[in-house]
Amino acid sequence: MQVISRVKLHSRNVLQEIWKNKVMFLMLLPIIVYFVVFHYLVMPGAYVAFVDFNIRNGIFGSKFVGLDNFQFLFKNGDLWNITKNTLLYNFVFLALGNVIQIVFAVMLAEISGKWFKKITQSVLLLPYFISMVIVGVFAYNMFNYDSGFVNTVLTSLGFERYEFYSNPDIWKYIIVAFKIWSATGYGMIVYLATITGISNELYEAAYMDGASKWQRIRHMTLPMLKPTFILLLLFGLGGILKGSFDLFYNLIGTNSVLYPQTDIIDTYVFRSLVGQFNFSMGAAVGFYQSIFGLVIVLVVNLIVRKIEPDSALF
Amino acid sequence: MGTKTVGKEDFSSFLIKAISYVCIFCFALACAFPFVLMISSSFMNEQEIVREGYKLIPNHFSLKAYELLFRNSTVLSKAYGVTIFITVIGTVAGLLMMSMAGFVLNRKDFKYRHFFSFMIYFTTLFAGGLIPSYILMVKYLHLKDSLFAMILPGVVGAWSIFLMRNFMKSIPDSLYESATIDGAGDFRIYWQIFMPLAIPALATIGLFSALGFWNEWYNGMLYIQTPDKFPLQYVLQRMINQTNVQALINQGAVINSADLPSQSIKMATAVMATGPIILLYPFAQRYFVSGLTIGAVKG
């Protein structure tokens, strides 16, 4: 009895609260509706991974098949290959990307020429602004067999043309290079912001004590960048199973010759939707990606909270 | 002794500085190179490309690709129209929704702000995936072939909402309190007091969002079927993947197909699709840099 009345009281409080703040709730309403429809309603849709999907019957009308879709993916080996590729690419993007961004941020901080600094900074950020479709154009422009710039140079130097679009091995490097190319400017500025935030007095004091430029970079600047580095690394690790679909699709497209080295989870799921209309298989991979990704975020966060409590995400 | 350390210091400084200049200069060249190559190959004539491939400095300067593009500009102008439409509607709607949310989620007297913040945050951890989203959009919301299919998926972002909320935090509470005493309602406070003060955040997030819509091609590829509704970048993407550009060129055009600048026209279209961004760039870049700095400092 008491419990019931307390529940009643509580629910009345909620309603009262909503009524009292109705304007604020109304202002929040579009976002609530948006997230409920486009994120929360989609989540139970992951159930499509456990059925034999048929568009006419809808997700919940299709036949339940349990883990058959997952079993098939494990057996045919696709899952292993795309997981491996996704993890490796993202790991290289993260590690190499951040190191290069830090190096460039430190170097840019060392430069004193105002004009030089301004212009180069703008140019370095430029690749971040353009769409990956344009990046795809660039790749085509450089590597296509008949008229690509690299082959133009090779033939003019008397070498044989190289057939980039049928050699999977070289694309690992091309993809990584384009990723670094497009992301360095952005990341560099984040690190540069941290460096500019370091008090000048600290550097002057170190200079007085006889620390060389290199020592100051090594023992002052780099340690100060550590929290930013860890934070960005964490964000990155959380998304380590989410690929840069944009980049991969625009560079590789539907060139299946290159798949062994360049297929990632996102491109695989996309193909199962658009090319093969195999909704259930694609959804199974997507579900696996989401769960695996969530586990990675939680584990990484747990580890970080142990080592560096201040840097933990939650 | 003292002068000796200074001398050593000078040399190491000089070395580091010199290396920095060289490396940054080289990387800047690498960043600019594809743009230059794209622009110069759009001015090459077809025979030269077929014979010698794309080059940095064309032997013969030709405007043919652009002439063709402009003479048969319906496809391109329609795509421009679509892209401008989704960019404007998407950015304005997104900014309105996100700034209202940021305002409310920052209000300390709003009891459920932690609950709703977590609800938004959770979506960055776990997502239903592409296929359930696709089924939702097509089967349940009936958005196939609708321009809104390109606007809705990207209209707001969890991180932008938090950036907005954090920015609102920097506006002193006393402003809000005095406005309440003067009898202003919540919406009025948001619209007349917070919005003008939040212009730096609005500009940053607005630019990010506009850039996202301008570069949109993915949802176009997934959901749009009518060529008239293709966004600019998707038109470009299809062109690059098509070996035959004939599809772009109207039947009415009188062109000798052997003469058709199929290679340079790809580059000319790419230049046209990038153009507005390059023009907007000097203006946008300033806000981007300051916006990134706000984001970085506040985590």
Q: Which of A21, A137, A210 sits opposite B240 (nearest CB)?
A: A137
User: Whole-prediction pTM value?
Assistant: 0.86
pLDDT attached to residue B250: 43
With 50 as the cut, is the pLDDT of residue A272 above it? yes
- Which of B41, B131, B263, B297 should we substitute to test contact with A (largest number of A Cβ atoms within 10 Å)? B131
Across the interface, which of B23, B211, B296 has its CB nearest the CB of A190?
A: B296
Which is more confidently placed, A313 or B259? Answer: A313
Assign domain B71-297 to a CATH class.
Answer: mainly alpha
Quote the Cα angle for A97-B217-A83, to 5°.
45
- How far is the C-alpha of B268 from the C-alpha of B67, rounded, in Å? 10
pLDDT for residue B9 is more than 80:
no
- Predicted confidence at residue A31, as pLDDT, reads 95
Partner residue facing B31 (CB), from A45, A181, A250: A181
A181 touches chain B (CB under 8 A): yes
Give the residue-averaged pLDDT of A144-173.
85
Q: Among B110, B156, B240, select the one facing A21 at the smallest CB separation.
A: B110
Q: What's the confidence (pLDDT) of residue B100?
A: 94
Q: What is the mean pLDDT of residues A113-134?
A: 89
Q: Closest residue of A to B218, CA-based?
A: A246
Amino acid B6: pLDDT: 47
The residue type of B104 is V
What pLDDT, on the 0 to 100 scale, is given for residue B230? Answer: 92
pLDDT at residue B249, as a whole number: 47
- Phi and psi angles of residue B252, each rounded to the nearest 5 degrees, phi first: -65, -20
B109 contact partners, CB below 8 Å, separation of at least 6: A21
| B123 CA: distance to closest CA in chain A (Å) | 7
How many CB pairs below 8 Å do chains A and B form together? Answer: 275
Place B105 in a pLDDT band, splitting at 50, 70 and 90.
Answer: very high
Based on its alpha-carbon atoms, the radius of gyration of chain B, rounded to whole angstroms, reads: 25
Residue spans per domain, chain B: 71-297
What's the confidence (pLDDT) of residue A311? Answer: 65
- Least confident span in A234-238, B39-43, B138-142: A234-238
Which pLDDT does position B51 carry in this prediction? 76
Looking at the complex, does the CB of residue A119 fall below 8 Å from at least one CB of chain B? Answer: yes
pLDDT tens digits, residue range A74-119?
888 888 889 999 999 999 999 999 999 999 999 998 888 888 988 8
| H/E run at residue B184 | none
Q: Are the Cβ atoms of A59 and B132 closer than 8 angstroms?
A: yes
Residue B104 has pLDDT above 80, yes or no: yes
pLDDT at B246 over 50: no
Region A254-279 average pLDDT: 85
Q: In terms of CA atoms, which chain A residue is nearest residue B276?
A: A130
Could you tell me the sign of the dihedral formed by the alpha carbons of B121, A223, A123, A134, in that order?
negative
Whole-angstrom Cα distance, residue B38 to residue B264? 9
Q: What is residue B299's predicted lDDT score, i.e. its pLDDT?
A: 39
Chain A window 12-51: which residues touch B at a Cβ cutoff of 8 Å? Answer: 17, 21, 23-24, 26-28, 30-32, 34-35, 37-46, 48
Give the gap in angstroms from C-alpha B186 to the nearest C-alpha of chain A. Answer: 6
Which residues on A lie below 8 Å from B110 (Cβ)? Answer: 21, 24
Q: Residue B50 and residue A108: Cβ atoms within 8 Å?
A: no
Residue B244 has pLDDT above 60, yes or no: no
pLDDT surpassing 60 at residue B298 = no
> Looking at the DSSP assignment, which residues form a beta bridge with residue B61?
B44
Predicted local confidence at residue B201, as pLDDT:
86
Whether residues B120 and A35 touch (CB distance < 8 A) is answered with: yes
Instruction: Tell whether the model's pLDDT for residue A36 goes beyond 80.
Output: yes
When the pLDDT of each residue in chain A is averaged and rounded to a whole number, the result is 85
pLDDT at B241 over 70: yes
Lowest model confidence (mean pLDDT) among B32-36, B42-46, B103-107, B119-123: B42-46
Tell which A residues from 141 to 170 touch B, by Cβ distance under 8 Å: 141-142, 146-149, 151-152, 155-156
**Average pLDDT rounded to a whole number, residues A249-270:** 86
Could you tell me how many helices (H) and strands (E) chain A has, helices first?
15, 2
> B90, B106, B240, B212: which is closest to B151 by C-alpha?
B90
* pLDDT (tens digit per residue) in B69-98: 888 778 888 999 999 999 999 999 999 999
**Beta-bridge partner residues of B44:** B61
A55 contact residues in B (CB cutoff 8 A): 135, 139
B151-166 tens-digit pLDDT: 999 999 998 998 889 8
Q: Which of B90-99, B128-137, B216-225, B262-271 has the lowest mean pLDDT?
A: B262-271
d(CA A306, CA A308): 6
pLDDT one-digit tens code per residue, B155-210: 999 989 988 898 888 888 888 888 888 888 888 888 988 888 888 888 888 988 99
CB A46 to CB B128 under 8 A?
A: yes
Mutate to test the interface with A, among B100, B114, B130 (most CBs of A within 10 A): B130
How many CA atoms within 13 Å lie on the side-chain side of A76? 9
Nearest CA distance, A101 vs chain B (angstrom): 11
Q: What is the pLDDT of residue B30?
A: 93
Residue A30: which of B20, B97, B236 has the nearest Cβ?
Answer: B97
Mean per-residue pLDDT for B278-288?
A: 77
Query: Per residue in A240-267, is it b (16+ CB within 10 Å) or e — as a string?
Result: bbbbbbbbbbbbbbeeeebbebbbbbbb
ipTM: 0.85
Residue A313 confidence class, pLDDT cut points 50, 70, 90 = low
Interface with B, mutate which of A102, A116, A129, A181 (most B CBs under 10 A): A129
Candidate ranges A42-56, A241-255, B110-124; pick with highest mean pLDDT: B110-124
* Nearest neighbour of A34 by CB, restricted to B56, B156, B299: B156
pLDDT in tens, A8-19: 556 667 788 888
> Touching check for A240 and chain B: CB below 8 Å?
no
> What pLDDT score was predicted for residue A168?
85
> Does residue B292 have a pLDDT over 80?
no
Q: Is the confidence at residue B285, as pLDDT, over 70?
A: yes
Confidence of residue B248 (pLDDT cuts 50, 70, 90): very low
pLDDT at B253 over 50: no
For A151, the closest of B53, B104, B135 (CB atoms) is: B53
| Residue of B121, B153, B240 with shortest CB distance to A140 | B240
